[in-house]
Amino acid sequence: MTNLLTQGAPLTNLLTPDFNVTPTVTRTPPQQPTPEPTWTPSSGQGPISTPGQSGGGAAGPIAPPLPLDENILAAMANLEEQVQAVRSLPGPLNLEREILSTDKLRQMMQTKLVDEAALAQQPTAEIVLKALGFIQNDFDLTQAMLNTRGDAVGGFYDPDLNKVNLVGSGFGAIEKYIYAHEYLHAVQDANFDLNSLGLYPTCTKPAQACLAVRALVEGEASLAHQLWLEQVPPEDGPEEMRDYLAPATLFPDTTNPQYFGMQNTFAFEYGLTFVSDLYENGGWNAINRAYANLPDTTEQVIHPDKYLQREQPLFLDHPDLSPVFRNNWEFIRRDSLGEWDTYLLLAYNAYPDAQRPAPEARVAAEGWGADEYRVYYDPVNNDVFLSAYWIWDSAADAKQFHTALLPSISTRFGSTEVDGPGESGECWSLALQTSCLYLNDKWVLWLYSDNQEILEAAKAKFTKFP
């Protein structure tokens, strides 16, 4: 589509302001845990809890931030000069810095990010994510809120306060490693104004545009971070820094669906590949120019040549479904999955038996041309409707995607086919939920609803499918 979707909050931003789209996350390694704080804990602070958890589970007193003495400040200043030289950009003025414990970071995140407005978004988020299959029906999104927001956080740059928050107990090799990455975000903010990118504190773009811009920001910081290690080898702990890996989560949680972690994978890994391609072809100037000409689809990040060619999504005319939904039905969400979330739909949905092998899914998503999904909800009867509509670069690409999606949907909704609306599709039913998949030339349509009558009326609007 030439006009990207703007209705509704991005899928990756459904839970809290800046949920999974912050440009300021640094990942930390599991094999090198941060030591316990060596300063005296304050006994005046009470425990914190993750929203959605029941009472109990109280934590101990939370240690206050580590005082920054002259030696730490001098080491920070020296590192900042090195980073500025590598990145060839001036640093921020009046930067604030804080070294704090993991618990203190969690408390800070909860205070800043989890408010009444964020909590109010959760029911809608659950409806959308469950309909798409990224979380299962019995998954409590509330308990994952902070963890998803804080996955693998080792530092946090706050553009509102021009402040680097660093997790640690001193300023040793690991803390310097994390600080270099977070300081790079401060440099980005000073030169490109992170708040103006539509990412922070709440993403104001379509979901995949937010993810694409986040990939630019994280990819640039990761590339500069790597070059800093190569060009200015640290005197203390270089091996420790180079062996640094990220844990699965900062706050232990074994229930987090794969979907959320894969969004971080995209920002860091695909972002680094994307920015490295720009750097190899035009140096830092090419990356600077990217901030004035932001990527707007995940396809452009996955395939940097498409960004350089400014390839836009194909035109896709999703029919107006509003006449179908009367009485109690509410319009919940309209957005685009993009190539990346289409890939996750196949390989990283929340139903293990319905997941397709990652190589197959990656190839199946490559011919993405454009898509749009819409979600409606009837709160009185607790009924949900989803339409997901794709156009592919060619009929062969559409067939390949349809071939991958068909066994995934049939597994999720039961292997027994049922009669459904239209002649060009296949339908399955499980516990009164009916899911249908259609293919015609370059177009693929997936419909899902708890209400058979609504499903049939909506299907009639998609005239490309007999």
Q: Is the pLDDT of residue 353 over 90?
A: yes
Please write the tens of the pLDDT for every residue from 7-60.
Answer: 333 344 433 323 233 334 344 333 333 332 222 222 222 222 222 333 333 445
Do the Cβ atoms of 339 and 297 come closer than 8 Å?
A: yes
Which residues, 6 or more positions from 45, have their beta carbon under 8 angstroms from its beta carbon? 61, 62, 107
127, 131, 132, 136: CA torsion to nearest 10: 80
Please write the tens of the pLDDT for every residue from 296-340.
Answer: 999 999 999 999 999 999 999 999 999 999 989 999 999 999 999
d(CA 251, CA 426): 42
Place 125 in a pLDDT band, splitting at 50, 70 and 90. confident
The torsion angles phi and psi of 330, rounded to 5 degrees, stand at: -120, 140
Please write the tens of the pLDDT for every residue from 80-119.
Answer: 999 999 999 999 999 999 998 877 877 777 777 666 666 7
Of the candidates 373, 366, 320, the one whose C-alpha atom is nearest the C-alpha of residue 343 is 366
Q: What is the pLDDT of residue 348?
A: 96
The torsion angles phi and psi of 375, rounded to 5 degrees, stand at: -130, 130
Q: What is the mean pLDDT of residues 374-390?
A: 96
**Predicted TM-score of the model (pTM):** 0.83
Query: Which domains are seen in the chain, by residue range?
Result: 11-295 (no CATH), 322-459 (3.40.1000)
Q: What is the pLDDT of residue 122?
A: 79
Q: Is the pLDDT of residue 239 over 80?
A: no
Do the Cβ atoms of 145 and 16 come closer than 8 Å?
A: yes
- Which tokens is 137 given? 């029906």
